[in-house]
Every structure is written in structure tokens, then in C-alpha cells.
Amino acid sequence: MRTGPDDRHVALAAVLGGVLLGAVDFIWIKYLPYPVGNLGNSSAVWAVAAFCFGYWVRSGRLRAAIGAAAGLVIAVPGYYVTAALVQGDDWAVLWTPTSLLWMCFGVLAGVIFGIPGIWTHEAGWRQVVGPALPAAVLFAEAGLEIRRIGDPSYGNDPIWDALIRVTLGLLVPVLAARTNRQRVLTLAAALPLALAGLAAFLLAGFR
């Protein structure tokens, strides 16, 4: 028996959630001070949003994957439309190669992190690996920030970015896992996944 929202609510949430994510992300970057405001530049936060979508869907892996991917894809024009309305950015950025590339990343992240949101409600290893993945991507992004410490282009600012991402990564299993044992296992699983995620970031050109 299926639990959670029906297909119409999932589709509506994907559209509205995507628009909201893109708009809030831009406003977050523009108006919140550093270092908190820099979270708006975090691709890991968008991945966590996909996980939260799957967690909300509760059942139906295909629904979670499609809905999360659609939401992230819609968030990209949502971001640029907000930028055009708030600070007069060029509307043409909506169909630039960079925008299309971020939409492609949105499809990938939606599938990879939307389905683990479903796993969190299941039994066995999936219940551990599910919340470990969003924690891992935050830890991986923290690793990128640590690599930047001391770089003349960044100075010591990445220390704060790394600390915020590690804190959020630790918070994920606290909120998503059901027992202390699951939280410990989730963190243990997140560490090797974070190393793999860091390698993926570097291969994708993130520096």
C-alpha cells in the first residue's frame, strides 16, 4: 500500500518547490551576510533539497527521482528569473550553456539524492545509506573548502564554509535517522561516501 502524497501533489510540489528553491537561493546569496549567505552557492544544499523531497514523498522511487529532478531543473530558471526581477540581470542567461549545464546536474542530483530520501523509510542497509548520502555530499563540499584554505584567492574564509557544511552534515543523520544506532552507522557510512563525493567534485571540475 502506497503511503505519502499522491502523484498530483508530488508533481505540484516539484514545480512549486523548484521555483521556491531557485528564488530563495538567489535572495539568500544577495541579502544574507557571509559566511551564512555563501550557502546559496552550495551545490550540496541543492542535493540535500532533493533528498528532502524524496523523504517527503515516502514511497515510490520513480516518483521521488522524477519529482526531485524536475524540482532541481525548475530551480535553475527560478534562480535566474529572480535575479532578473530583483537586480535587473539579463534574461538571456536563462538559455545560456551554463544554465543548461546546471539543469543537467539537476537531473543527476535529483535521481541520486531523491531516491535515498525514500530509502530512509525502508529497512536494512537502505535505512543507513539513505541519510548517509546527503551527509556525505555536505562533508565532500567541506573537503573542497578545506583544500582552498590559504589559497591567495580565498584566504582563511573557507574555514567558516567548511565548518558550516560539516555542521549541517552532522545534523542530517540526527534529524533523518530514527535511533542512535542508525545515526552512528549513518555517519560511519557517510565518511567513505564523502571521499568518493570529493573525488567526483574534483573530476567534475570543482576546485
Give the model's pLDDT for residue 2: 57
DSSP assignment string, the chain? ---S--HHHHHHHHHHHHHHHHHHHHHHHHHSPTTGGGGGG-HHHHHHHHHHHHHHH-S-HHHHHHHHHHHHHHHHHHHHHHHHHHH---GGGGGSHHHHHHHHHHHHHHHHHHHHHHHTTSSTHHHHHHHHHHHHHHHHHHHHHHHHTT-TTTTTTHHHHHHHHHHHHHHHHHHH-SSHHHHHHHHHHHHHHHHHHHHHHHHTT--
Give the model's pLDDT for residue 192: 96
pLDDT band of 153, cuts 50, 70, 90: confident
Whether residue 175 has pLDDT greater than 90:
yes
Whether residue 1 has pLDDT greater than 70:
no
Is this structure's pTM higher than 0.85? yes
Which pLDDT tens digit goes with each residue over 30-62? Answer: 999 988 999 998 999 999 999 999 999 998 999
Give the model's pLDDT for residue 161: 93
